DNA sequence: AACTGTGGCCGTGGCC
DNA sequence: GGCCACGGCCAC
């Protein structure tokens, strides 16, 4: 056997079972040759922890260990045995505990063994029995995803396999580039025929320049690969993909759509989706409503999933459809073809080249999006030690959990278990906990606003006050911390001697982020900058999600008291800043959670810096108030219902004249484009003192609506159908529009975007609502009274323009009357 | 459908 | 006409 060294990048991992032994398979791209290699590791076995009761004597513990070692259970599937038991010392909470690491032969025996041992009286509990085997491997072997790793391997002649002897990560090497890998995106166009979804076009685009569309219609498209039938389309796809030999397969919603169709059609025709160069098939899992298409060594990245769960908060477009996302992120637009266009073209066999073109374009966009998100995806994968396959499908909760588990292993800490269903119900029954403070603004236009906010408020609080499950009301600080580290609104305090696990790992994140930000400042190389920026961004989103994770009922680190303490300190600090600002003679205009808006007679940096220093000198730990910037104007509108100014809705003008709009209809995707644009324009004009122009602009819009000169597209209202149609109590417009569409034979799922128009026909607004595709006209009155007037009058009133100020008419009229 | 959290606004339907 | 629950989306 000759020993060898391989340096490469890990981007996939799974395991197989051979002869009752698990064999981990690590998919590695050799950095030099760019060839992929499957490395096998037979040295790793599944395990979980048994926690014996603390009161057990050494002898009792020894007997328990023996009992577990000798455990044997026979049933029809064979004999269940323990491979080995090792005594270890691990940290649980802040305590060192004796635990038994119970090693099993194969992964699926872990839950079985645990179930059998549950009846043993000497056992207090079980830990880490639900961490998937391949994830366990990545963590325990310190795999650094998307970073150079060094493997000592040996070649086994008999099987031709490479076996791993040792692994070393090169922690200082940068994360790799997109261009290291081969990427392939595909997209399907389908039609509904006799109750089945059938494939009519399939496009394939890859990073080596391949651009193909496959169809079985002969005169479809001059560049098309024309095959016999639908079955051949799928076979041809497999053939091309296999030949192109990509590392990653990219789709946009492939988990729920493309692979769903492919799986069904392939089954019908008796074909396997064997696209991988190493002979693996795609498997399609559905766990409840969640579906995934996966193939070892051919990593399927569903970009829609990543956009939905991770990027949604930063996306502004009305829907998360490919064309919108591509437009927003890439500045590219999808060709505009609707489903009815496709089926019409297919039925009449006209304009087929347009569909083919559109199909290819979708793959092109998907590939481009893949490149766009790669830095973020790879940084996150690396940070939380999860395969890119899992990272692109993960929620924030999953990411935080994965990161915590990884860090726990590093620190020899055993992680708490996931809550049982009953426990989760109990946690949820506690109800919502008190959150942040929001300052009620006064209505009007304010000048010269200095904006301050706390840098990462909640993470800073958790670190500074050592907020954790294990540090709460400790015995060691009973006398001191009770005074010095007490939660403002509650009766508990946190330990000041021993750092909790969560504060300590959060601190690592914050420090690392500061370090990366420093490097960013010194970096010129744009490629490198993008990577570093993605890394600091990954750290930021994981850090910010920790507080929510502690208050999340499904969390391993749930603690109600920790969550309420965090927000309690938050309220305390923002109130403190507000009080001190008042004392220093500033006028407090507004503030939300971690920010304060202070107005000054004029811009005065000396005063601003003095205030900042004054505050920061009195703040403990890593708490840090930052100066965000100066704004020449700030507009706060009257609340529609109730007294005072509306919170979470304002507009600011920065020193360069840019307008920043928060909360108003302009930024809400459930308002018509016309209403949003009109409000934006009015804001723009009023903030530059062009009152008359603003009035005229609105009159003009109203006039256009009255004379039906506004194109219907600008009047479409987008709303999400959040649940299945039957579970709605109230018949809101979008729900009624859907009901009417269902009557026409359309189908809807929860989570779908509904685009509707309020038409002229009907009594109530819901009566009038029709899906955009069925609407031929619109109700001008509705759009004037319910979309335009309310959104602009808030703004006019805020700057002090009374509605009744039109004098060009004999009668005194509302400026917007018509 | 959406499983990181709470605070908040506002339109609409539906009840009184 | 007034009030409130439902429902969706946004700020942080």
Q: Tell me the two tokens of residue A588.
A: 């407090």
Q: What is the pLDDT of residue A333?
A: 65
Residue A792 belongs to some domain of the structure? yes
Residues A569 and A619 reside in one and the same domain: yes
Instruction: Please give the span between the terminal C-alpha atoms of chain A, in angstroms, as a whole number.
Output: 91
Residues A187 and A155 reside in one and the same domain: no
Residues A132 and A22 reside in one and the same domain: no
Residue A396 approaches strand B within 7 Å at CB: yes
Average pLDDT over residues A561-577: 98
- CA closest to C1' of C11 belongs to A648
Q: Is A657 exposed, middle or buried (0-12, 13-18, 19+ CB in 10 A)?
A: exposed
- CA closest to C1' of B11 belongs to A786
Q: What is the CATH number of the domain that holds A254?
A: 3.30.420.10
Three-state secondary structure of A589-650: EEEECCEEEEECCCCCHHHHHHHHHHHHHHCCCCCCEEEEEEEEEEEEEECCCCCCEEEEEE
A183 strand-pairing partners: A248
Residues A324 and A188 reside in one and the same domain: yes
What are A291-323's pLDDT values in tens digits?
A: 999 999 999 999 999 999 999 989 998 899 999
Residue A723 approaches strand C within 7 Å at CB: yes
Give the separation between CA A481 and CA A565, rounded to whole angstroms.
14
Which of A102-111, A343-352, A562-571, A718-727 has the lowest average pLDDT? A343-352
Q: What is the pLDDT of residue A483?
A: 80
Average pLDDT over residues A430-446: 96
Backbone angles phi, psi at A454, to 5 degrees: -75, 135
Residues A13 and A74 reside in one and the same domain: no
Q: What is the CATH number of the domain that holds A12?
A: 2.40.50.140
Q: Tell me the two tokens of residue A111.
A: 């839950």
Residue A518 belongs to some domain of the structure? no
Residue A795 approaches strand B within 7 Å at CB: no
Measure A770 CA to B14 C1' (Å): 21
Per-residue pLDDT for A472 more than 50? yes
Q: What is the CATH number of the domain that holds A714?
A: 1.10.132.60
Measure A786 CA to C1 C1' (Å): 18
Residues A787 and A680 reside in one and the same domain: yes
What are A45-91's pLDDT values in tens digits?
A: 999 999 999 999 999 999 999 999 999 999 888 899 999 999 999 99
Q: What is the pLDDT of residue A335?
A: 62
Q: Is A748 helix (H, G, I), strand (E, B) or coil?
A: coil
**pTM of structure:** 0.95
Q: Give which of A590, A579, A589 is closest to A615, Cα–Cα.
A: A579
Which residues of A in 306-325 have their CB below 7 Å from strand C's atoms? 313
Residue A277 belongs to some domain of the structure? yes
Q: What is the pLDDT of residue A812?
A: 38
Backbone angles phi, psi at A471, to 5 degrees: -100, 0
Residues A209 and A318 reside in one and the same domain: yes
Residue A256 approaches strand B within 7 Å at CB: yes
| 3-state helix vs strand vs coil in chain A, percent to 5 | 40, 25, 35
**Residue A671 pLDDT class (50, 70, 90 cuts):** very high
Q: Is A35 helix (H, G, I), strand (E, B) or coil?
A: coil
Residue A519 belongs to some domain of the structure? no
Neighbouring C-beta atoms of residue A745, cutoff 10 Å: 6
Per-residue pLDDT for A589 more than 80? yes
* Interacting residues of A792 by C-beta distance below 8 A, sequence separation 6+: A678, A679, A682, A698, A816
What are A452-463's pLDDT values in tens digits?
A: 999 999 999 999
Average pLDDT over residues A693-700: 95
* Interacting residues of A680 by C-beta distance below 8 A, sequence separation 6+: A661, A666
Per-residue pLDDT for A478 more than 90? no
Give the separation between CA A17 and CA A134, rounded to whole angstroms.
12
Which residues of A in 440-479 have their CB below 7 Å from strand C's atoms? 453, 457
Q: What is the pLDDT of residue A346?
A: 78
Residue finishing a domain among A613, A633, A654: A654
Residue A543 belongs to some domain of the structure? no
User: DSSP of A554-566, one letter per residue?
Assistant: T-TT--HHHHHHH
Cβ(A393)–Cβ(A305) below 8 Å:
yes
Q: What is the pLDDT of residue A220?
A: 63
Q: Tell me the two tokens of residue A344.
A: 């019409």
Give the separation between CA A493 and CA A467, rounded to whole angstroms.
9
Task: Indicate the number of domains in chain A.
Answer: 5
Measure A436 CA to C3 C1' (Å): 28
Residues A600 and A644 reside in one and the same domain: yes
Which of A79-83, A477-481, A493-497, A655-659 has the lowest average pLDDT? A477-481
Measure A642 CA to C3 C1' (Å): 13
Q: For residue A579, give its domain range.
A: 430-497+553-654
Residue A509 belongs to some domain of the structure? no
Residues A53 and A100 reside in one and the same domain: yes
Identify the helix (H) or strand (E) that includes residue A755.
strand A752-758
Residues A731 and A795 reside in one and the same domain: yes
Q: What is the pLDDT of residue A345?
A: 78
Give the separation between CA A665 and CA A387, rounded to whole angstroms.
39
Residues A344 and A199 reside in one and the same domain: yes
Per-residue pLDDT for A365 more than 60? yes
Residues A627 and A698 reside in one and the same domain: no
Per-residue pLDDT for A347 more than 60? yes
Residue A159 belongs to some domain of the structure? yes
Residue A389 belongs to some domain of the structure? no
Q: What is the CATH number of the domain that holds A592?
A: 3.90.1600.10
Q: Is A169 helix (H, G, I), strand (E, B) or coil?
A: strand
Q: What is the CATH number of the domain that holds A80?
A: 3.30.342.10
């Amino acid at each position: 056997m000759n020993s060898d060294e391989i340096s490469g990048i890990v981007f996939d991992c799974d395991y197989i079972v051979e002869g009752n032994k698990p064999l981990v398979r690590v998919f590695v791209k050799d950095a030099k040759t760019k060839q992929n290699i499957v490395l096998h590791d037979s040295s790793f076995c599944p395990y979980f922890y048994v926690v014996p009761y603390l009161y057990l004597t050494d002898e009792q513990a020894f007997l328990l260990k023996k009992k577990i070692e000798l455990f044997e259970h026979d049933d029809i599937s064979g004999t269940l045995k323990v491979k080995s038991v090792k005594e270890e010392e691990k940290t649980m909470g802040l305590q060192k505990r004796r635990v038994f690491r119970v090693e099993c032969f194969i992964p699926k025996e872990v839950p079985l063994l645990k179930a059998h041992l549950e009846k043993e009286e000497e056992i207090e509990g079980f830990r880490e029995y639900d961490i998937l085997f391949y994830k366990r491997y990545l963590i325990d072997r310190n795999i650094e995803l998307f970073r150079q790793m060094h493997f000592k391997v040996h070649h086994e002649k008999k099987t031709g396999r490479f076996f791993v002897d040792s692994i070393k990560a090169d922690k200082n090497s940068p994360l790799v580039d997109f261009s290291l890998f081969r990427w392939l995106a595909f997209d399907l166009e389908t039609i509904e025929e006799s109750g089945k979804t059938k494939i009519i076009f399939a496009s394939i685009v890859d990073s080596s320049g391949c651009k193909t569309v496959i169809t079985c219609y002969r005169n479809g498209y001059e560049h098309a690969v024309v095959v016999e039938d639908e079955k051949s389309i799928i076979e041809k796809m497999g053939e091309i993909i296999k030949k192109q030999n990509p590392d990653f397969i990219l789709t946009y919603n492939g988990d729920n759509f493309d692979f769903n169709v492919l799986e069904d059609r392939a089954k019908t025709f008796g074909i396997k989706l064997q696209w991988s160069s190493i002979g693996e098939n795609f498997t399609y899992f559905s766990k409840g409503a969640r579906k995934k298409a996966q193939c070892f060594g051919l990593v399927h990245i569903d970009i829609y999933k990543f956009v939905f769960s991770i990027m949604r908060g930063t996306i502004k477009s009305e829907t998360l459809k490919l064309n919108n996302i591509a437009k927003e992120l890439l500045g590219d637009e999808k060709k505009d073809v609707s489903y009815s266009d496709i089926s019409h073209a297919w039925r009449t066999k006209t304009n087929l080249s347009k569909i083919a073109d559109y199909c290819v374009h979708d793959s092109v966009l998907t590939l481009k999006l893949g490149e766009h998100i790669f830095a973020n995806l790879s940084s996150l994968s690396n940070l939380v030690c999860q395969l890119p396959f899992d990272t692109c499908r993960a929620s924030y909760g999953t990411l935080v959990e994965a990161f915590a588990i990884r860090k726990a292993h590093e620190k020899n800490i055993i992680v708490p278990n996931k809550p049982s269903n009953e426990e989760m119900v109990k946690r949820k029954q506690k109800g919502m906990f008190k959150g942040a403070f929001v300052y009620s603004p006064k209505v009007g236009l304010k000048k010269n606003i200095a904006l301050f906010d706390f840098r990462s408020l909640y993470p800073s609080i958790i670190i500074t006050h050592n907020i954790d499950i294990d540090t709460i009301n400790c015995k060691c600080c009973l006398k001191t911390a009770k005074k010095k580290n007490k939660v403002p609104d509650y009766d508990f305090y946190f330990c000041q001697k021993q750092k909790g696990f969560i504060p300590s790992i959060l601190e690592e994140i914050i420090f690392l982020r500061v370090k990366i930000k420093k490097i960013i400042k010194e970096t010129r190389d744009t490629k490198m900058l993008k990577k570093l920026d993605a890394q600091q961004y990954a750290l930021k989103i994981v850090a910010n999600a920790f507080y929510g994770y502690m208050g999340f009922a499904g969390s391993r680190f749930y603690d109600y008291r920790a969550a309420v303490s965090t927000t309690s300190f938050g309220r305390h600090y923002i109130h403190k800043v507000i009080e001190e600002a008042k004392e220093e003679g500033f006028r407090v205009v507004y503030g939300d959670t971690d920010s304060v808006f202070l107005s000054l007679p004029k811009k005065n940096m000396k005063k601003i810096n003095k205030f900042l220093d004054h505050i920061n000198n009195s703040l403990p730990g890593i708490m840090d108030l930052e100066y965000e910037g100066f704004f020449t104007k700030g507009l706060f509108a009257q609340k529609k219902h109730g007294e005072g100014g509306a919170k979470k809705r304002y507009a600011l003008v920065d020193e360069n004249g840019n307008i920043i709009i928060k909360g108003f209809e302009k930024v809400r995707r459930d308002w018509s484009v016309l209403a949003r644009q009109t409000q934006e324009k009015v804001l723009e004009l009023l903030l530059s003192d062009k009152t008359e122009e603003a009035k005229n602009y609105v009159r003009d819009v109203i006039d256009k609506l009255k004379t039906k000169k506004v194109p219907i597209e600008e009047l479409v209202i987008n709303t999400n159908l959040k649940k299945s149609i039957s579970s709605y109590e109230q018949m809101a417009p979008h729900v009624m529009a859907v009901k009417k569409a269902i009557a026409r034979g359309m189908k809807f799922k929860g989570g779908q975007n509904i685009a509707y128009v309020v038409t002229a026909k009907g009594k109530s607004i819901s009566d009038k609502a029709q899906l955009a595709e069925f609407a031929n006209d619109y109700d001008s009155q509705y759009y004037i009274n319910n979309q335009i007037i309310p959104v602009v009058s808030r703004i006019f009133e805020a700057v002090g323009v009374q509605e009744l100020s039109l004098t060009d008419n004999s009668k005194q009229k509302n400026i917007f009357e018509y």
